[in-house]
Amino acid sequence: MRPALTATAFLSCVLAACSGVRDIDVVSPYVAESPYTGSDITHDFVLVHEQSRLGGGPRLYMTGTVIGGRTAPPPDPQRIAAQAGARGISVQVLSDDPAMDTAAGRYAESLTAAAAYAVAEIWPGRDARAEFTIILVEPGVRLSRAGWRLRRPGEAWRLRFYLETSELDDASRETWKAGGHVHEFYHLLAAAARVGLSDRRGAGPDAGFVYEETAAFLYEHCAVLSALGAASNAMSPGALLDSRRFGDASGLPESVSGPLPDEWLTHVARLLEAAEQGANPGSRIPLIDAIRLTLWSEISGGSWTIEAGTPQAERLLEVCRRVAPDPFEVRALIEELAADGVDAPPLPPRPRHAGPPPPDAGADAAGTGAAEPEAGAQPDAAREDEA
Ligand SMILES: [Zn+2]
């Protein structure tokens, strides 16, 4: 086990040309304790180190996974169970168990297809080559592993995540995880382009965070929809906004669940506008969940699933292409929907196969929010400002 290294220490080493330093894995399953330990929470994340002195976009970034199981994880497998590649995207799945090869192969193809579609069709024109390494682990491990990566100009992004084998037992969960890995990749692209959370036009990081998480959510679903034929939002958390959290009830009901009606959307747009000026929007994880669910319901017409080739798919792609390059468009979109005179349609009960929403961490774990939003209020895409 190597000791954890801070971004600043790693960067100092890189700048001092420490020989051969390229990646530092932070393998600390019981050091970087997750607050979710002991639950079934899975949480993939990226973290970008801001390098203002270097300019030219982020070069130092972290990718990793937290799984809140109970069993100590075995050493990482070294065996390549499957690989796939297309359009500058490559995916390698590692597993020591040959019985997983078929599922690993399917996952490598799905993730490659989704990411390749995203970089070529949703937000083209980026230097968006990426190498994904997906490490299969038995269900129930407790694991917190991440690694700092250095990306020199012209190099591919390298993303490394852990995936429980049980996620590959069910096609809808498998698709969901592939979307989640594309989602994390979007955060790196957004940081490189200085949009969303890195956008300095607004004073408030909360607004950038809400916008970037919404853009990442749309990006992953557009990628999955177009590459794999359909996208489902049935595993996202529900939306419950409690007006008391915002300090200004404005005569609104105390809470609302499900897609937000126009009256609430108008309120959300005002909160976001204030957040752009530096105000604290109160509770950003439920806010993100509510925005995601409402946009989904508006676009899908009240269905959990959108099939490729439908008018709903066209609408979703249109929104993705608008929001991915500029997540601040989310507020304009919300304002348009709030003013259209038609409330977001309600969604039917969740499909049985989806099971309960995964109670993963905050805005993300594979693009989901927490079932108890405040408990899991942790950004999946953090920025670490230079010391
Ligand atoms: Zn995210």
102-122 residues labelled b (16+ CB within 10 A) or e (exposed): ebbebbbbbbbbbbbbbbbbb
Residue 42 domain flag: yes
CA pair distance 271, 24, nearest whole angstrom: 40
Q: How far is the CA of 336 from the centre of ligand 1 (A)?
A: 24
Ligand 1 centroid – CA 320 distance (Å): 15
Phi-psi region of 154 (alpha: psi -120 to 50; beta: other; left: phi over 0): left
CA 235 to ligand 1 center in whole angstroms: 15
- Residue 34 has, within 13 A of its CA and on its CB side, a CA count of 32
Q: What angle do CA 183, 267, 250 make, to 5 degrees?
A: 145
135 Cα to the center of ligand 1, angstroms? 20
The rounded distance, in Å, linking the Cα atoms of 291 and 253 is 18
List Cβ neighbours of 8 (8 Å cut-off, separation of 6 or more): 49, 386, 387
Averaged pLDDT for residues 280-300: 87
Residue 22 lies in a domain: yes
Interval between CA 19 and ligand 1 midpoint (Å):
34
Does residue 131 fall inside a structural domain?
A: yes
Distance 97 CA to ligand 1 centre (A): 30
User: Residue 216 C-alpha to ligand 1 middle, in angstroms?
Assistant: 6
Torsion over CA of 88, 94, 98 and 103, rounded to 10 degrees? -50
Over residues 185-206, the pLDDT tens digits come to 999 999 988 899 888 665 677 8
Task: Tell me the per-residue pLDDT of 113-132, one tens digit each, with 9 for 90 and over.
Answer: 999 999 999 999 888 999 99
Number of domains in the chain: 1
Q: Is residue 159 part of a domain?
A: yes
- Measure 8 CA to ligand 1 centroid, in angstroms: 23
**Taking 50 as the threshold, does the pLDDT of residue 356 lie above it?**
no
316: exposed, middle or buried (C-beta count within 10 Å: 0-12, 13-18, 19+)?
buried
Q: What is the pLDDT of residues 143-152, one digit of tens each?
A: 888 888 888 7
349 by Cβ neighbours in 10 Å (0-12 / 13-18 / 19+) ranks as exposed
The Cα–Cα gap between 149 and 142 comes to 23
109/178 Cα distance (integer angstroms): 10
pLDDT per residue over 242-269, tens digit each?
766 665 545 566 777 789 999 889 988 9
Assigned domain for 357 exists: no
41, 189, 314, 377 from 119: Cα distances, Å: 29, 9, 17, 29
Q: How many angstroms does the Cα of residue 99 sit away from the middle of ligand 1?
A: 32
Gap from CA of 63 to ligand 1 centroid (Å) = 12
The answer to whether residue 88 sits within a structural domain is: yes
Say which residue, 287 or 28, is predicted with more confidence.
287
365 Cα–ligand 1 center, Å: 7
CA–centroid distance, 172 to ligand 1, in Å, is: 19
Q: Does residue 264 lie within any of the structural domains?
A: no
The verdict on residue 248 lying in a domain is no
Please tell me the distance between residue 345's alpha carbon and the centre of ligand 1 in angstroms: 25
Task: Report CA(16)–ligand 1 centroid distance (Å).
Answer: 32
pTM (two decimals): 0.85
Q: What is the pLDDT of residues 150-184, one digit of tens each?
A: 887 788 999 999 999 999 998 888 999 999 999 99
State the distance from the centre of ligand 1 to the C-alpha of 113, rounded, in angstroms: 20
Do residues 26 and 146 touch, judged by C-beta distance below 8 A? yes
**Gap from CA of 18 to ligand 1 centroid (Å):** 32
Q: Is residue 378 pLDDT above 60, yes or no?
A: no
Owning domain of residue 24: 7-191
How much distance in Å is there from the Cα of 364 to the middle of ligand 1? 5
Distance from Cα 180 to the centre of ligand 1, integer Å: 8
Expressed in angstroms and rounded, the spacing between residue 45 Cα and the centre of ligand 1 is 7
How many C-alpha atoms does 8 have within 13 Å on its Cβ side?
4
